[in-house]
Amino acid sequence: MTINAIGTFDLASYNETVNTLTGSGTLTSSSSGATPTFTVGYASSSANTTFSGAIQNGSATSVALTKSGHTILTLSGNTTYTGTTTINSGSTLKL
């Protein structure tokens, strides 16, 4: 999944799983009281990626991030979410 510079991906109150995450846009949640989880990576993932955008709670209580698969996800943007960060076996998350 690519979130472009002026783009926003709104989780609302839903959990979402994607193969990769790239771009420089915003990942957020507009549902107050929600605690959605965004998961990046499948077992079959083969590309290391960088996301230079913002990951933020938005109106949600918190947004959680899970990294799965055997690739490297680098977060280089303004990451201010306050939910849990889970790194599954074999995964790498760089900040």
pTM for the predicted model, two decimal places = 0.92
Q: How far apart are the first and last CA of the chain?
A: 19
For residue 21, what is the DSSP state? -
Task: Place 54 in a pLDDT band, splitting at 50, 70 and 90.
Answer: very high
Nearest-5° Cα angle at 69, 66 to 73: 65
List, for residues 10-40, the tens digit of each pLDDT value: 999 999 999 999 999 999 999 998 899 999 9
- Which strands, in side-by-side order, build the sheet including 22-23? 2-3, 22-23, 49-51, 72-75, 92-94
Count of CB atoms within 10 A of residue 35's CB?
18
